[in-house]
Protein backbone atom coordinates (compact mmCIF):
# COMPACT_ATOMS: atom_id res chain seq x y z
CA UNK A 1 0.00 0.00 0.00
CA UNK A 2 1.57 3.35 -1.07
CA UNK A 3 2.13 6.43 1.04
CA UNK A 4 0.06 9.44 0.13
CA UNK A 5 1.87 12.71 -0.65
CA UNK A 6 0.19 14.29 2.39
CA UNK A 7 1.41 11.53 4.73
CA UNK A 8 4.89 11.77 3.24
CA UNK A 9 4.91 15.54 3.85
CA UNK A 10 3.79 15.07 7.44
CA UNK A 11 6.55 12.50 8.01
CA UNK A 12 9.18 14.89 6.66
CA UNK A 13 7.76 17.71 8.79
CA UNK A 14 7.89 15.49 11.88
CA UNK A 15 11.49 14.46 11.18
CA UNK A 16 12.46 18.08 10.57
CA UNK A 17 10.81 19.11 13.86
CA UNK A 18 12.58 16.33 15.78
CA UNK A 19 15.89 17.32 14.21
CA UNK A 20 15.44 20.99 15.20
CA UNK A 21 14.53 20.00 18.77
CA UNK A 22 17.61 17.78 18.99
CA UNK A 23 19.84 20.58 17.76
CA UNK A 24 18.34 23.03 20.24
CA UNK A 25 18.83 20.57 23.11
CA UNK A 26 22.42 20.01 22.02
CA UNK A 27 23.10 23.76 21.91
CA UNK A 28 21.47 24.22 25.30
CA UNK A 29 23.59 21.45 26.82
CA UNK A 30 26.73 22.89 25.26
CA UNK A 31 25.94 26.31 26.70
CA UNK A 32 25.30 24.84 30.12
CA UNK A 33 28.55 22.91 30.00
CA UNK A 34 30.47 25.97 28.83
CA UNK A 35 28.98 28.06 31.61
CA UNK A 36 29.90 25.38 34.17
CA UNK A 37 33.47 25.09 32.90
CA UNK A 38 33.74 28.85 32.79
CA UNK A 39 33.81 28.57 36.57
CA UNK A 40 32.59 31.97 37.77
CA UNK A 41 28.87 32.55 38.17
CA UNK A 42 28.96 34.70 41.29
CA UNK A 43 31.10 37.59 42.55
CA UNK A 44 31.72 38.95 46.05
CA UNK A 45 33.40 42.26 46.82
CA UNK A 46 34.87 43.66 50.03
CA UNK A 47 36.65 46.90 50.78
CA UNK A 48 36.31 50.67 50.56
CA UNK A 49 34.90 53.39 48.28
CA UNK A 50 36.68 52.03 45.20
CA UNK A 51 34.28 49.08 45.27
CA UNK A 52 31.30 50.31 47.32
CA UNK A 53 28.22 50.49 45.04
CA UNK A 54 26.06 52.03 47.75
CA UNK A 55 26.24 50.23 51.10
CA UNK A 56 26.92 53.54 52.83
CA UNK A 57 23.46 54.67 51.72
CA UNK A 58 22.03 52.43 54.46
CA UNK A 59 24.21 53.39 57.42
CA UNK A 60 24.56 56.53 59.53
CA UNK A 61 27.65 58.10 58.02
CA UNK A 62 28.16 61.41 56.22
CA UNK A 63 30.39 59.64 53.70
CA UNK A 64 27.78 58.99 51.02
CA UNK A 65 27.48 59.69 47.31
CA UNK A 66 23.84 58.90 46.56
CA UNK A 67 23.14 62.38 45.20
CA UNK A 68 24.07 64.41 42.09
CA UNK A 69 26.47 64.91 40.48
CA UNK A 70 27.59 61.39 41.42
CA UNK A 71 26.23 58.87 38.94
CA UNK A 72 25.91 61.49 36.23
CA UNK A 73 27.01 58.98 33.56
CA UNK A 74 25.50 55.87 35.17
CA UNK A 75 22.34 54.21 33.83
CA UNK A 76 19.54 56.80 33.72
CA UNK A 77 22.01 59.31 35.23
CA UNK A 78 21.22 57.81 38.64
CA UNK A 79 23.39 58.43 41.72
CA UNK A 80 23.69 54.99 43.32
CA UNK A 81 26.22 55.52 46.06
CA UNK A 82 29.17 54.74 43.79
CA UNK A 83 31.91 57.32 44.28
CA UNK A 84 32.26 58.07 40.59
CA UNK A 85 30.33 59.43 37.65
CA UNK A 86 29.55 55.90 36.46
CA UNK A 87 30.62 52.29 36.84
CA UNK A 88 33.37 50.85 39.03
CA UNK A 89 36.06 48.33 38.11
CA UNK A 90 34.05 45.57 39.79
CA UNK A 91 31.05 46.37 37.57
CA UNK A 92 33.24 45.96 34.48
CA UNK A 93 34.69 42.70 35.85
CA UNK A 94 31.25 41.24 36.64
CA UNK A 95 30.02 42.14 33.16
CA UNK A 96 33.14 40.71 31.51
CA UNK A 97 32.76 37.42 33.39
CA UNK A 98 29.13 37.25 32.28
CA UNK A 99 27.84 37.31 35.85
CA UNK A 100 25.79 40.56 35.83
CA UNK A 101 26.03 44.11 34.55
CA UNK A 102 26.45 45.77 37.94
CA UNK A 103 27.40 44.53 41.40
CA UNK A 104 24.72 45.71 43.87
CA UNK A 105 25.25 46.65 47.53
CA UNK A 106 24.42 43.87 49.98
CA UNK A 107 22.52 46.24 52.29
CA UNK A 108 19.97 47.09 49.61
CA UNK A 109 16.76 45.64 51.13
CA UNK A 110 15.09 45.23 47.73
CA UNK A 111 17.53 42.59 46.42
CA UNK A 112 15.86 39.36 45.32
CA UNK A 113 17.26 35.89 45.95
CA UNK A 114 18.05 35.69 42.23
CA UNK A 115 20.11 38.88 42.55
CA UNK A 116 21.84 37.59 45.65
CA UNK A 117 22.70 34.35 43.88
CA UNK A 118 24.94 36.18 41.40
CA UNK A 119 26.81 38.18 44.00
CA UNK A 120 26.96 41.44 45.92
CA UNK A 121 29.41 43.95 47.33
CA UNK A 122 29.86 44.29 51.10
CA UNK A 123 32.29 47.21 50.71
CA UNK A 124 31.91 50.49 52.57
CA UNK A 125 33.43 53.81 51.53
CA UNK A 126 35.93 54.98 54.13
CA UNK A 127 36.76 51.51 55.43
CA UNK A 128 40.14 49.84 55.85
CA UNK A 129 41.90 46.86 57.38
CA UNK A 130 42.86 48.78 60.54
CA UNK A 131 39.77 48.75 62.85
CA UNK A 132 40.47 52.38 63.73
CA UNK A 133 40.02 53.50 60.11
CA UNK A 134 36.26 52.81 59.80
CA UNK A 135 35.73 54.24 63.28
CA UNK A 136 37.04 57.61 62.07
CA UNK A 137 34.45 57.74 59.28
CA UNK A 138 31.63 55.83 60.98
CA UNK A 139 31.53 53.17 58.27
CA UNK A 140 31.48 49.37 58.03
CA UNK A 141 34.67 47.64 59.27
CA UNK A 142 36.19 44.79 57.28
CA UNK A 143 35.32 42.42 60.12
CA UNK A 144 31.66 43.46 59.86
CA UNK A 145 31.77 42.99 56.09
CA UNK A 146 32.89 39.42 56.72
CA UNK A 147 30.08 39.04 59.25
CA UNK A 148 27.61 40.26 56.62
CA UNK A 149 28.97 37.61 54.26
CA UNK A 150 28.20 34.91 56.83
CA UNK A 151 24.70 36.37 57.17
CA UNK A 152 24.41 36.30 53.39
CA UNK A 153 25.31 32.60 53.34
CA UNK A 154 22.58 31.83 55.86
CA UNK A 155 20.01 33.63 53.69
CA UNK A 156 21.09 31.65 50.66
CA UNK A 157 21.05 28.33 52.52
CA UNK A 158 17.46 28.96 53.57
CA UNK A 159 16.49 29.76 49.99
CA UNK A 160 18.40 27.16 47.94
CA UNK A 161 19.86 24.72 50.45
CA UNK A 162 23.27 24.30 52.05
CA UNK A 163 24.74 22.05 49.35
CA UNK A 164 23.92 24.40 46.49
CA UNK A 165 25.12 27.40 48.50
CA UNK A 166 28.45 25.69 49.18
CA UNK A 167 28.86 24.94 45.48
CA UNK A 168 28.20 28.58 44.59
CA UNK A 169 30.67 29.89 47.17
CA UNK A 170 33.37 27.47 46.04
CA UNK A 171 33.07 28.72 42.47
CA UNK A 172 32.85 32.43 43.33
CA UNK A 173 35.24 35.26 42.57
CA UNK A 174 36.26 37.19 45.70
CA UNK A 175 37.67 40.68 45.23
CA UNK A 176 39.13 42.74 48.09
CA UNK A 177 40.14 46.39 47.65
CA UNK A 178 41.17 48.35 50.74
CA UNK A 179 44.17 49.96 52.43
CA UNK A 180 44.32 53.50 51.06
CA UNK A 181 42.20 54.93 53.88
CA UNK A 182 44.44 53.23 56.43
CA UNK A 183 47.26 55.49 55.31
CA UNK A 184 45.60 58.65 53.97
CA UNK A 185 42.76 59.00 56.51
CA UNK A 186 44.19 57.16 59.49
CA UNK A 187 47.98 57.00 59.73
CA UNK A 188 48.73 60.38 58.15
CA UNK A 189 45.37 61.97 58.97
CA UNK A 190 45.38 61.41 62.73
CA UNK A 191 48.29 61.12 65.22
CA UNK A 192 47.09 57.97 66.99
CA UNK A 193 48.85 55.24 64.97
CA UNK A 194 51.95 57.34 64.37
CA UNK A 195 52.52 57.37 68.14
CA UNK A 196 52.80 53.58 68.15
CA UNK A 197 54.13 52.62 64.71
CA UNK A 198 56.77 53.69 62.25
CA UNK A 199 55.62 53.54 58.61
CA UNK A 200 57.21 50.13 58.10
CA UNK A 201 55.82 48.93 61.42
CA UNK A 202 52.35 50.06 60.38
CA UNK A 203 52.70 48.28 57.06
CA UNK A 204 53.48 45.04 58.90
CA UNK A 205 50.57 45.66 61.28
CA UNK A 206 48.22 46.06 58.32
CA UNK A 207 49.60 42.92 56.68
CA UNK A 208 48.71 40.89 59.77
CA UNK A 209 45.17 42.20 59.46
CA UNK A 210 45.11 41.42 55.73
CA UNK A 211 46.16 37.82 56.39
CA UNK A 212 43.53 37.58 59.11
CA UNK A 213 40.83 38.81 56.72
CA UNK A 214 41.92 36.43 53.98
CA UNK A 215 41.83 33.55 56.45
CA UNK A 216 38.27 34.54 57.30
CA UNK A 217 37.36 34.24 53.60
CA UNK A 218 39.09 30.88 53.38
CA UNK A 219 37.14 29.64 56.40
CA UNK A 220 33.93 30.53 54.55
CA UNK A 221 34.89 28.55 51.45
CA UNK A 222 36.62 31.11 49.20
CA UNK A 223 38.78 29.45 46.56
CA UNK A 224 39.56 32.33 44.17
CA UNK A 225 40.66 35.59 45.78
CA UNK A 226 41.90 38.79 44.15
CA UNK A 227 43.66 41.28 46.41
CA UNK A 228 43.91 44.80 45.02
CA UNK A 229 47.10 46.71 45.81
CA UNK A 230 47.37 50.36 46.78
CA UNK A 231 47.07 53.07 44.12
CA UNK A 232 49.68 55.83 43.76
CA UNK A 233 48.31 57.55 46.87
CA UNK A 234 50.58 60.53 46.51
CA UNK A 235 48.87 61.46 43.24
CA UNK A 236 45.34 61.74 44.62
CA UNK A 237 44.23 65.37 44.12
CA UNK A 238 43.19 65.81 47.77
CA UNK A 239 46.49 64.39 48.99
CA UNK A 240 48.39 66.78 46.73
CA UNK A 241 46.30 69.71 47.99
CA UNK A 242 46.83 68.88 51.66
CA UNK A 243 50.55 68.24 51.29
CA UNK A 244 52.61 70.74 53.35
CA UNK A 245 54.70 71.45 50.25
CA UNK A 246 51.71 71.85 47.91
CA UNK A 247 52.39 75.52 47.29
CA UNK A 248 55.89 74.74 46.00
CA UNK A 249 55.50 71.57 43.91
CA UNK A 250 52.91 72.83 41.37
CA UNK A 251 50.54 69.92 42.00
CA UNK A 252 53.11 67.22 41.53
CA UNK A 253 52.61 63.84 43.21
CA UNK A 254 53.84 63.44 46.79
CA UNK A 255 56.82 61.14 46.34
CA UNK A 256 57.01 59.89 49.93
CA UNK A 257 53.48 58.45 49.71
CA UNK A 258 54.23 56.86 46.35
CA UNK A 259 57.19 55.07 47.92
CA UNK A 260 55.02 53.85 50.81
CA UNK A 261 52.42 52.48 48.38
CA UNK A 262 55.08 50.63 46.36
CA UNK A 263 56.60 49.11 49.49
CA UNK A 264 53.20 48.00 50.77
CA UNK A 265 52.32 46.43 47.43
CA UNK A 266 55.58 44.49 47.37
CA UNK A 267 54.88 43.16 50.88
CA UNK A 268 51.33 42.23 49.86
CA UNK A 269 52.57 40.30 46.82
CA UNK A 270 55.05 38.36 48.94
CA UNK A 271 52.38 37.50 51.48
CA UNK A 272 49.95 36.32 48.80
CA UNK A 273 52.66 34.15 47.28
CA UNK A 274 53.41 32.62 50.67
CA UNK A 275 49.71 31.96 51.34
CA UNK A 276 49.31 30.40 47.91
CA UNK A 277 52.12 27.91 48.53
CA UNK A 278 50.59 24.59 49.48
CA UNK A 279 47.03 25.92 49.23
CA UNK A 280 44.30 24.87 46.81
CA UNK A 281 42.98 28.44 46.84
CA UNK A 282 44.03 30.60 43.91
CA UNK A 283 45.23 34.07 44.83
CA UNK A 284 46.13 36.93 42.59
CA UNK A 285 47.55 40.36 43.17
CA UNK A 286 45.67 43.04 41.22
CA UNK A 287 48.05 45.86 40.35
CA UNK A 288 46.31 49.21 40.02
CA UNK A 289 49.37 51.27 40.95
CA UNK A 290 51.14 51.12 37.60
CA UNK A 291 48.16 51.59 35.24
CA UNK A 292 46.83 54.53 37.29
CA UNK A 293 50.33 56.00 37.47
CA UNK A 294 50.59 55.66 33.69
CA UNK A 295 47.37 57.62 33.23
CA UNK A 296 48.61 60.37 35.53
CA UNK A 297 52.06 60.51 33.96
CA UNK A 298 50.55 60.82 30.50
CA UNK A 299 51.31 57.34 29.20
CA UNK A 300 47.61 56.72 28.52
CA UNK A 301 45.96 58.80 25.85
CA UNK A 302 42.75 60.76 26.16
CA UNK A 303 43.14 62.41 29.56
CA UNK A 304 43.60 66.16 29.64
CA UNK A 305 43.46 66.67 33.43
CA UNK A 306 45.33 64.38 35.81
CA UNK A 307 45.85 66.30 39.08
CA UNK A 308 42.39 67.70 39.84
CA UNK A 309 38.92 66.16 39.93
CA UNK A 310 35.99 66.90 37.63
CA UNK A 311 33.76 68.00 40.53
CA UNK A 312 34.08 71.47 42.04
CA UNK A 313 37.57 72.94 42.15
CA UNK A 314 38.85 69.38 41.97
CA UNK A 315 41.30 70.09 44.79
CA UNK A 316 39.42 68.99 47.91
CA UNK A 317 35.80 68.07 47.10
CA UNK A 318 34.61 64.53 47.76
CA UNK A 319 31.43 62.95 49.19
CA UNK A 320 29.08 65.65 50.57
CA UNK A 321 31.48 68.38 49.43
CA UNK A 322 30.82 67.31 45.84
CA UNK A 323 27.10 67.99 45.54
CA UNK A 324 24.34 69.36 43.32
CA UNK A 325 25.63 72.90 43.87
CA UNK A 326 29.11 72.04 42.68
CA UNK A 327 30.43 73.08 39.29
CA UNK A 328 31.21 69.99 37.21
CA UNK A 329 33.36 69.54 34.13
CA UNK A 330 31.52 68.95 30.85
CA UNK A 331 33.33 65.75 29.83
CA UNK A 332 34.46 63.51 32.68
CA UNK A 333 36.16 61.11 30.25
CA UNK A 334 38.95 63.67 29.87
CA UNK A 335 39.66 63.51 33.61
CA UNK A 336 41.45 60.76 35.51
CA UNK A 337 39.64 61.77 38.71
CA UNK A 338 35.94 62.41 39.24
CA UNK A 339 36.28 64.02 42.66
CA UNK A 340 39.44 64.74 44.64
CA UNK A 341 39.91 61.06 45.56
CA UNK A 342 38.08 58.75 43.16
CA UNK A 343 38.66 57.94 39.48
CA UNK A 344 36.18 58.57 36.70
CA UNK A 345 34.39 55.74 34.93
CA UNK A 346 36.83 56.21 32.02
CA UNK A 347 39.81 55.68 34.35
CA UNK A 348 38.14 52.70 36.01
CA UNK A 349 37.62 51.11 32.60
CA UNK A 350 41.33 51.46 31.76
CA UNK A 351 42.14 49.87 35.13
CA UNK A 352 39.83 46.99 34.22
CA UNK A 353 41.54 46.60 30.85
CA UNK A 354 44.91 46.46 32.61
CA UNK A 355 43.62 43.74 34.95
CA UNK A 356 41.92 41.69 32.26
CA UNK A 357 44.87 39.39 31.39
CA UNK A 358 45.16 38.41 35.06
CA UNK A 359 41.38 37.94 35.31
CA UNK A 360 41.58 35.55 32.36
CA UNK A 361 44.22 33.46 34.09
CA UNK A 362 42.64 33.26 37.53
CA UNK A 363 38.88 33.59 37.06
CA UNK A 364 38.34 31.97 33.66
CA UNK A 365 39.10 28.35 32.90
Q: Could you report the per-residue pLDDT of 249-265, keeping only the tens digit for each?
A: 678 999 999 999 999 99
Q: Is the pLDDT of residue 329 over 50?
A: yes
Residue 278's pLDDT band (boundaries 50, 70, 90)?
confident
The pLDDT, as a whole number, for residue 1 is 46
State yes or no: pLDDT of 28 exceeds 80.
no
Residue 49 annotated in active site = yes
Residue 339 designated active-site = yes
Does this model's pTM top 0.75?
yes
Which of 22-31, 80-89, 188-197 is predicted with the least confidence, judged by mean pLDDT?
Answer: 22-31
- Distance CA(54)–CA(65), nearest Å, equals 8
Catalytic residue from among 49, 121, 293, 340: 49
Active site (annotated) includes residue 342: yes
**pLDDT value at position 299?**
74
Give the per-residue pLDDT at 14: 42
Contacts of 219 (CB under 8 A, 6+ apart): none
pLDDT surpasses 50 at 205? yes
pLDDT at 8 over 50: no
| pLDDT beyond 50 at 245 | yes
- pLDDT of amino acid 247: 66
Mean pLDDT confidence for 116-137: 97
- Residues of 147-185 as b/e, b for ≥16 C-beta within 10 angstroms? ebbeebbeebeeeeeeeebeebbebbbbbbbbbbbbbbb
Catalytic residue among 121, 137, 182, 342: 342
User: What is the overall mean pLDDT for the chain?
Assistant: 89
The Cα-based distances of 248 to 127, 236, 244, 245, 252 in angstroms read 32, 17, 9, 6, 9
| Alpha-carbon torsion, ordered 185, 188, 193, 194, to 10 deg | 180
Residue tagged active-site, from 48, 73, 130, 339: 339
Lowest pLDDT segment from 97-111, 290-304, 324-338: 290-304
Phi then psi for 52, rounded to 5 degrees? -90, 115
- Asked whether 63 and 138 are in contact (CB, 8 A), the reply is yes
Amino acid sequence: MGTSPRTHALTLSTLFFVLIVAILISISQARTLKSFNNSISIIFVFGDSTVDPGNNNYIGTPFKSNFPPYGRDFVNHTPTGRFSNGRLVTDFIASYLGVKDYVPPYLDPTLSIEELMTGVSFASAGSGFDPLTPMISGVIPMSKQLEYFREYKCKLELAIGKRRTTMLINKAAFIVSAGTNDFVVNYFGTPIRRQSYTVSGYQQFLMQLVRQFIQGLLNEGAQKIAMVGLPPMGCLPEVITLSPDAIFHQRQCVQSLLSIARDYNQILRKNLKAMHSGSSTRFFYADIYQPLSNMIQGHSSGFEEVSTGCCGSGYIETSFMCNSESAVCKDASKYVFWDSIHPTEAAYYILFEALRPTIDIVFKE
